[in-house]
């Protein structure tokens, strides 16, 4: 899939959770949202992109969430 679109969608999700008061929970909620609503292939592509890019194009909160909860996303 078009990685730019995936990045945009992921960052939009990050923008929502950025405003939630509990950062730890927000990081978990981002990964939960992706797990609940994104098809596995989309999640795999996003993680693969993150792993091979020095500048992922992801917001900090999304990048953090993916790194911490990677196992949930591509298990």
String of contacts with another protein for each residue 30-69, x by CB under 8 A: ---x-xxxxxxxx---------------------------
Residue ranges in 19-59 assigned as alpha helix (H): 23-37, 40-52
Asked whether the beta carbons of 74 and 47 are under 8 A apart, the reply is: yes
The tokens describing 7, both together, are 């990045």
Per-residue tokens: 53: 């890019």
Closest to another protein by CB, 15 or 53: 15
Q: Which residues contact another protein by CB under 8 A? A: 1-2, 5, 8-9, 12-13, 15-16, 18-21, 33, 35-42
């Amino acid at each position: 899939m078009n990685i730019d679109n995936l990045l945009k969608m992921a960052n939009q999700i990050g923008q929502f959770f950025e405003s939630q008061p509990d950062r730890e929970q927000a990081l978990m909620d981002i990964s939960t949202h992706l797990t609940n609503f994104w098809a596995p292939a989309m999640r795999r592509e996003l993680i693969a992109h993150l792993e091979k890019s020095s500048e992922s194009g992801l917001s900090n909160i999304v990048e953090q969430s993916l790194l911490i909860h990677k196992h949930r996303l591509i298990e």
